[in-house]
Structure 1
Amino acid sequence: MKQVAVVTGAARGIGAASAARLAAEGAAVAILDLDETACAATAAEIAEAGGKAIGVGCDVTDERQVLDAFTRIAAELGAPAILVNNAGVLRDNLLFKMSAEDWDTVMGVHLRGTFLCCKAAQKYMVEQRYGRIVNTSSVSALGNRGQANYAAAKAGIQGLTRTLAMELGPFGITVNAVAPGFVATEMTARTAERMGVTAAELQAKTAAITPLRRVGRPADIAGVVAFLAGPDSAFVTGQTLYVDGGRRL
C-alpha cells in the first residue's frame, strides 16, 4: 500500500519538486495550494511519470478548510503518513514601512498554517503509530534585513518543530525542518524585482558569495525533504537541516 503524503504550497517551486520526488519514491501525493486549479499541472506531471496525485484547494490559515482538506485526502487516498509544510508568502519591507497586515499575513501562512496542518495530520499519524512531518524554515530564521516578519516566522517554525518532535515522538512520528538558502523560484524572482534587479542578476550575485558557487534549485531541497520523509531518517527528529550551499546569510 502506498504511503500518503501531503505537500502544502505544492503548485510550483520547492513544493512541486518535493511532491514529484515523493511520488517518484512511491507515495500517493496530495498537492495542496490556495487555488486548486493551480495544482493541476503538478498533478498531471506526476501522473505522466507513473505516480498518483490529487490537487486540493486549501487556505492553510483557515482551520475549517484545513480539516476539510485532510478529511478529503484520507477519503480519496488514505490516511496521511507524510506531511510537508511548504506553503509560504513574502511581504518584505523594512520595519518602519512594514504594515501590521504584512506582518499578520506572513505569520499566518507560515506559522499558523504549519500549526493547523500539523494538528490535522497528527490525528491520522497517531492512529497509525507512524508519521513524518517536514516543516520548511529558512536561512532567514537567522535574521535578514527587510524580512522581520519572514525571519520571525521561520525562526518560530524551528521552535515548533523541536517541540512537536518531543510531543509526537512517543507515537513513532518524527518532526524535522529543512532551512533552504537562496533557491531559484518565482518567490526569489519577486525578491529580485523588489530590489530593482533581474532574477538572473540576483542569482549571479548570490552564487558569487556562496561556497558552492551556485544558487539552489528546487530539486536540491526536494532531495532533503525526501530523506527526512523516508525510512533512512528514522532516528532523526527535532532537527533543522540547513540546505544553503554553505552560505548562511
Structure 2
Amino acid sequence: MSPEAADVRQTALVTGAAGGLGRCIAGRLHERGLRVALTDLDAEAAADAARELDPTGESAVGLALDVREKDAFAAVRDRLTERWGAVHVLVNNAGHSKVEALMDITPESFSGVVDTNLNGTFYGCQVFGQYFAERGYGRIVNIASLAGQNGGTATGAHYAAAKGGVATLTKVFARDLAHRGVTVNAISPGPQDLPVVRRIVAPEKLAQTEAMIPVGRLGRPEFIADMAVLLSSAHADTVTGACWDANGGLYMR
C-alpha cells in the first residue's frame, strides 16, 4: 500500500548527502514534507547537514554510511525503521570521481571509483529493493551522469564506465521490481553549478566548459533535486526504468 493511501509520512534515505548535490536533494525532499536521513562517509558532516534541516532531529538525521559495504545499507535500514517505522524512498547519490588520463589509471584507482559509484548503487538497490518489495511499495532514484552516456569528457574512464553501469542497473532492477510496487529510475545530470565545482575549477576553464554547453550555463542542482522529488512521489507509479537527462543540450537522444 502506498504511503498516500495509508496517509503516513514518507521517509527518504539519501546517500552522499553531507554536501553538494546529495545535500540539495535531501533538502528538497525535506521541504516537501518527508523525513530525511542524510548519510555519508563523513558522519559528522552528515549530522551537521541534518541539523540545518531540523535542529530537533524529529524529521532529519545524519548517519554514517559506507556505500561500498552491503551490510552498511542493511544497518542503516534497520536504524531508520526503528526510528521512524519505515523507509519509502532511496536516492543513490554517493559518488567518487577522478580526473586521470586513460592509460594512467591503475587497477586500484579503477576499482576504487567503480566500488563507490557502481557497486554502491547495486548494494543500495539490492538491500532496499528487497525491503520495498516485501512492503509492496518503494521508490529508488539513482544518480547517473552524462559521462556514462557520452563516454565522459572531463572525467576518467573509470567514472564514465561506472555511471554507464548505473544506468543499466536501473533498468535491471526496474524490470525485476515493477510488479512489486517498486519503481527504479535514474537521473543523468551534466555539469552542475555546485560550490565544489567553482572551488576546484579555474575560472577560465569553467568559462570554456560553459561555452561548450548549448544553453550556455552549468546546470542547476535545485532542478536535479526537483526531478528526484518527482520520481520519488507516490503518483510516479507508472514511471520506471527511465533515465531523465538534464545536461543543457550536451547530449540529445
TM over 0.5, yes or no? yes
Opposite residue 213 of structure 2, the aligned amino acid is T
CA contact (8 A) 2:47 2:63 kept: no
Map residues 1-249 of structure 1 onto 2, 5 A cutoff: 1-47=8-54, 52-141=59-148, 142-145=150-153, 146-185=155-194, 188-189=197-198, 192=201, 198=202, 200-248=203-251
Pick closer, same or farther for the CA change 1:232–1:50 going to 2, 3 Å.
farther
When residues 5 and 189 of structure 1 are mapped into structure 2, their CA distance, relative to the original with a 3 A threshold, is same
Residue aligned with 1:206, SS: helix
The alpha carbon displacement at 1:90 in A equals 1.0
**1:122-167 residue CA offsets vs partner (Å, 9 max, x unmatched):** 2331122111100011000121245110010000011100010000
TM-score by length of 2: 0.90
RMSD, aligned α-carbons: 2.0
C-alpha displacement of 1:67: 1.6
- Shift of the 124–99 alpha-carbon distance from structure 1 to 2, 3 Å rule, reads same
1:121 deviates by 1.0
1:99 deviates by 1.1
- Secondary structure (helix, strand or coil) at the match of 1:6 reads strand
TM-score (norm 1): 0.91
Gap runs ≥5 in structure 2: 1-7
The amino acid of 1:184's aligned partner reads: D
- Structure 1: 5+ residue stretches without partners: 193-197
Identity of aligned residues (%): 37
CA offsets per residue over residues 162-187 of structure 1, 9 Å max, x none? 01000000001110000000012355
- Which secondary structure state, in structure 2, belongs to the residue aligned with residue 61 of structure 1? coil
Q: How far apart in 1 are the matches of 2:137 and 2:204?
A: 44
Measured after TM superposition, the shift of residue 232 of structure 1 is 4.2
Go from structure 1 to structure 2 and tell me whether the alpha carbon gap of 1:139 and 1:24 turns closer, same or farther (over 3 Å shift).
Answer: same
Query: Does the aligned pair in 2 maintain the 1:133–1:176 contact within 8 Å?
Result: yes
* CA 1:236–1:163: 2 relative to 1, 3 Å: same
- Number of positions where the alignment pairs a residue of Structure 1 with one of Structure 2: 243
Cα distance in 1 for residues equivalent to 2:137 and 2:196: 33
CA distance, structure 1, for counterparts of residue 106 and residue 15 of structure 2: 26
